[in-house]
């Protein structure tokens, strides 16, 4: 049984994993870069090891340094969190070679699902619907044009090795096909060292809906229902909720069965996520599988009542799943928002720096997974996400109200954050009514842009006018003051101050 886990990550996710370790009586080990010496995950862990300088390719991404730390502290297992090495098949293999348990799926599953073209082929074989398009890398433009004519414009050109919203191009017109493919190929080569690209039909009014799966090493596989992740900025999730406002019980059942089939197709054993793209008529297509814990996993934990990290550890310990599909149900509604250190009112510019003050929201139905504290300086080397705020309530309407209340109570000074933007999302009619797709942000600019608040300006002007009026009334009363001068006390005060300044 695992007794000590090294968490090969930083920030909120490292702490999130360590919390479960503590509950399970497992010792946790932090690794940190030189820029993270005073980071909360280092304080929270039972032991901590420095693994290199600030840039992640000299620390959090250096397999040798992490393995070295794991050996020094005699860790039985490594939890990779998300990002960094979490979907690196070579890292999973290396752990195995060194006799350290990798808390995640096999390198075979990571490899198969990590390459989008291979994953599409696998899914077709398993009877899981995929977006119409090509299932081989594009070699010749002529053939690509033929396929595009068959499936119809618009199409997406995607990098097979793509991720994080990178390496995707939307093509609307025939004239864009050749330059679009060539540009995507060179972009993919530069970003991922692999120029394989393929074509997918562009789904109109797309919804991003994903299914959480859990599979053990004894052939058991279940799903933990869906998460709706259609509020996206530049193909990156901003708000997630479960259940999805557009889901029906029938489609949920069907999609859940396809998610399980997808995981089974690669002999998956751990927690994983099957992402689907869904149109307005609830036609759904496999998009990709994330072979790791997701940022948005807490909403599933809250609604289904399962600690996903605990289950990952149990699976890594070779235990059979504790749950059967029929044991699970969705209870109430959960919403998560991602809080970034960036300025939503200045084109989402990163805003690293020192946190002067932080008041985290508390109260019924609120969970806050964060890592910054007062006096902490957010380094500029890593992802700007500083926390996740998760709320739960019996109904969606109450969950939205609770999120508004929690965002109102969440105060951070010293840096800019996305909190004001997220509050505007919670007040946008399309979100409140659950009628939105991945175009939500671009379609609702009038609600989401910072208010050049005309009404506030009018209120300010009115207040100033009233003040000036009040002062002039006082002045006229004190025109001849008690000391016999004709200068008001306000003016005298001002003069005294300016004399002091001299």
Residue whose CB is less far from ligand ADP, 44 or 340: 340
Residue 286 within binding range of ligand ADP, rule CB under 6 A: no
Greatest extent of the chain over all pairs of C-alpha atoms, in Å: 99
Q: Which of 143, 218, 235, 253 binds ligand ADP (CB under 6 A)?
A: 235
Q: Which is nearer to ligand ADP, 262 or 313 (CB)?
A: 262
Options 18, 277, 389, 407; binder of ligand ADP; rule CB under 6 A: 277
Q: Of 159-167, 184-192, 365-373, 386-394, which segment contacts ligand ADP by CB under 6 A?
A: 159-167
Residue 276's alpha-carbon distances to 212, 216, 229, 489, in angstroms, are: 11, 23, 10, 71
**19 labelled catalytic:** no
Q: Please report the sign of the dihedral spanned by the C-alpha atoms of residue 236, residue 353, residue 54, residue 4.
A: negative
Query: Which of 202, 203, 204, 226 is closest to 213 using CA atoms?
Result: 226
Q: In which residue are the tokens 């964060």 written?
A: 370
The closest alpha carbon to 216, from 291, 295, 110, 105, belongs to 105
Among 16, 79, 120, 208, binds ligand ADP (CB under 6 A): 208
Nearer to ligand ADP, 200 or 342 (CB): 200
Among the listed residues 292, 302, 338, 424, the single catalytic one is 292
Find tokens 């190929």 and name the residue: 185
Among candidate residues 231, 246, 235, the one with its CA nearest the CA of residue 441: 231
Q: Is 165 in the site for ligand ADP (CB under 6 A)?
A: yes
Q: Which residue has the tokens 């939500």?
A: 440
Main-chain dihedrals φ then ψ at residue 299, nearest 5 degrees: -65, -35
Contact status: 210 vs ligand ADP (CB under 6 A): no
| Angle formed at CA 368 by CA 399 and CA 165, multiple of 5 degrees | 85
Tell me which residue of 338, 344, 336 sits closest to 416, measured CA to CA. 344
Residue 436 backbone phi and psi in degrees, to 5: -150, 155
202: DSSP letter: P
Classify residue 223 as left (phi > 0), alpha (psi -120 to 50) or beta: beta
Q: Give the one residue of 87, 240, 288, 369 binding ligand ADP; rule: CB under 6 A.
A: 288
Please tell me whether residue 298 binds ligand ADP under the rule CB under 6 A: no
Q: Any contact of residue 152 with ligand ADP (CB under 6 A)?
A: no
Stretch that binds ligand ADP, among 197-205, 211-219, 393-401, 474-482 (CB under 6 A): 197-205
Stretch that binds ligand ADP, among 29-37, 157-165, 423-431, 462-470 (CB under 6 A): 157-165
Residues 131-150 that bind ligand ADP (CB under 6 A): 131
User: Is position 83 an interface residue for ligand ADP (rule: CB under 6 A)?
Assistant: no
Among 51, 119, 246, 287, binds ligand ADP (CB under 6 A): 287
Binding string, residues 381-420; x marks residues near ligand ADP by CB under 6 A:
----------------------------------------
Residue from the set 275, 311, 336, 369 that interacts with ligand ADP by CB under 6 A:
275
DSSP 153: S
Whole-angstrom CA distances from 140 to 147, 198, 390 are 11, 11, 47
- Is the Cβ–Cβ distance between 334 and 394 less than 8 Å? no
Find the binding residues for ligand ADP in span 89-128 (CB under 6 A): none
Cβ proximity to ligand ADP, 164 vs 375, nearer residue = 164
Tokens read off for 287: 């998009």
Select from 33-41, 99-107, 195-203, 308-316 the region that touches ligand ADP (CB under 6 A). Answer: 195-203
Interface with ligand ADP (CB under 6 A), residue total 19
Q: Which of 12, 115, 195, 200 binds ligand ADP (CB under 6 A)?
A: 200
Q: Which of 52, 81, 114, 162 binds ligand ADP (CB under 6 A)?
A: 162
Q: How buried is 297 (Cβ within 10 angstroms: 0-12 exposed, 13-18 middle, 19+ buried)?
A: buried
Smallest gap from residue 290 Cβ to ligand ADP (A): 8
Out of 81, 105, 206, 370, the residue judged to bind ligand ADP by CB under 6 A: 206
Identify the CA nearest to 32 among candidates 1, 16, 12, 56.
56
36 binds ligand ADP (CB under 6 A): no
Judged by beta carbon, residue 206 or residue 384, the one nearer ligand ADP is: 206
- DSSP code per residue over 267-334: T--SEEEEEEEE-TT--EEEEEEE-S--TTHHHHIIIII--HHHHHHHHHTTPPPS--GGG----SEE
Give the residue with the Cβ less far from ligand ADP, 24 or 113.
Answer: 113
Residues near ligand ADP, by CB under 6 A: 131, 156, 162-166, 200, 202-203, 206, 208, 232, 235, 275, 277, 287-288, 438
Residues known to be catalytic:
292
């Amino acid at each position: 049984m695992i007794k000590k886990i090294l968490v090969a990550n930083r920030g909120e996710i490292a702490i999130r994993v360590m919390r479960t370790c503590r509950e399970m009586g497992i010792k946790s080990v932090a690794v940190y870069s030189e820029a993270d010496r005073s980071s909360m995950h280092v304080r929270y862990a039972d032991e901590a090891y420095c693994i290199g300088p600030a840039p992640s390719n000299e620390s959090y991404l250096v397999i040798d340094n992490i393995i070295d730390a794991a050996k020094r502290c005699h860790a039985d297992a490594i939890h990779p969190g998300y990002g960094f090495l979490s979907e690196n098949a070579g890292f999973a293999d290396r752990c195995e070679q060194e006799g350290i348990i990798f808390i995640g799926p096999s390198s075979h599953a990571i490899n198969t699902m990590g390459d989008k073209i291979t994953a599409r082929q696998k899914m077709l074989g398993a009877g899981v619907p995929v977006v119409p398009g090509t299932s081989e890398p594009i070699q010749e433009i002529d053939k690509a044009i033929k396929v595009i004519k068959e499936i119809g414009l618009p199409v997406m050109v995607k990098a097979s090795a793509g991720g994080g919203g990178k390496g995707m191009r939307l093509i609307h017109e025939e004239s864009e096909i050749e330059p679009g493919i060539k540009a995507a190929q060179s972009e993919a080569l530069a970003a991922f060292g692999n120029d394989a690209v393929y074509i997918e039909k562009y789904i109109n009014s797309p919804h991003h809906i994903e299914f959480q799966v859990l599979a053990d090493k004894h052939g058991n596989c279940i799903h933990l229902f869906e998460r709706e992740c259609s509020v996206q900025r530049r193909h990156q999730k901003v708000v997630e909720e479960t259940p999805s406002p557009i889901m029906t019980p029938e489609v949920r059942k069907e999609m859940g069965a396809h998610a399980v089939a997808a995981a089974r197709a690669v002999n998956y054993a751990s927690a994983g996520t099957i992402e689907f793209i869904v149109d307005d008529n609830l036609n759904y297509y496999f998009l990709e599988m994330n072979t790791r814990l997701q940022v948005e996993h807490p909403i599933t934990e809250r609604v289904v009542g399962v600690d996903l990290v605990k289950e990952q550890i149990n699976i890594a310990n070779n235990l059979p799943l504790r749950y059967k599909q029929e044991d699970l149900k969705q209870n109430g509604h959960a919403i998560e928002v991602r809080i970034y250190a960036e300025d939503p009112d200045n084109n989402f510019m990163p805003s690293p720096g020192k946190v002067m003050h932080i008041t985290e929201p508390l109260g019924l139905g609120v969970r806050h997974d964060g890592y910054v504290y007062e006096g902490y300086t957010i380094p500029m080397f890593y992802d700007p996400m500083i926390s996740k705020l998760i709320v739960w309530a019996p109904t969606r309407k109450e969950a939205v109200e609770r999120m508004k209340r929690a965002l109102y109570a969440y105060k951070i000074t010293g840096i800019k954050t996305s909190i004001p933007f997220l509050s505007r999302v919670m007040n946008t009619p399309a979100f409140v009514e659950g009628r939105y797709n991945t175009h939500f942000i671009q379609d609702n600019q009038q609600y989401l842009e910072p208010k050049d608040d005309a009404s506030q300006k009018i209120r300010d002007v009115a207040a100033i006018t009233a003040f000036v009026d009040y002062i002039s009334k006082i002045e006229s009363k004190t025109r001849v003051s008690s000391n016999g001068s004709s200068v008001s006390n306000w003016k005298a005060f001002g003069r005294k101050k300016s004399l002091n300044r001299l």
